[in-house]
Amino acid sequence: MRPLLTLLLVSCTAWAGGLAQGPPPSSPIAPGQVWTLQAVTAEGEIFQTTLRLGPQPPQGTPATYRADRGVLLLDHKNSSLIALDLADAQDGGLALACAYIGPLDAQTFEGVLAAATLENLPPLLEAALAVFGVARTPEDRAEASAELRLGRCTLTRVAEGD
């Protein structure tokens, strides 16, 4: 794994720690699933991508699910989910990081978006995760995200057969 990507994964794992409370929920993610990432940057640019998870079980802690365009990181202990779409960033485009902290018992998650080049993504992702530590409602998260020049995102599991 590239050193910058490793730093990014370690960074987002550290920031997710300690923000959630309660027992770990059941897993919304399984190998082979397909997830849609819809995102709007702070500048209003709209993205929609699809992450197809590989058939292999997750690796490590947090659980790292490899996808065709990046990874999904699921941390049961801290009730966090981070979707990283890195495909376009490999060629100098934007990397998309959708961060969510909260109940993991749904098929759709409303998160905070960090969008940047790979080199600039770690501090933005840290800021996106930090939003959940201070903003409890979706409205508060939207306001905090706007102040920090972050976007918003929705991660949705695609139903089988769609």
- In this predicted model, what pLDDT tens digit does every residue of 89-125 receive, in sequence order? 988 899 999 999 999 999 999 999 999 999 999 999 9
d(CA 5, CA 66): 13
Q: Are 39 and 98 in contact (CB under 8 A)?
A: yes
Residue 144 is encoded by which pair of tokens? 């905090």
Containing structural domain, residue 14: 3-21+31-157
Domain-located, residue 162: no
Please tell me the total count of domains within the chain: 1
Task: Establish if 106 belongs to a structural domain.
Answer: yes
Distance (Å, rounded) from C-alpha 144 to C-alpha 8? 22
Question: Can you give the pTM of this predicted structure?
Answer: 0.84
Q: Residue 75 domain-assigned?
A: yes
Q: Is the residue at 98 inside a domain?
A: yes
Q: Is residue 26 part of a domain?
A: no
74 DSSP β-pair partners: 63, 81
The answer to the question of residue 81 being in a domain is yes
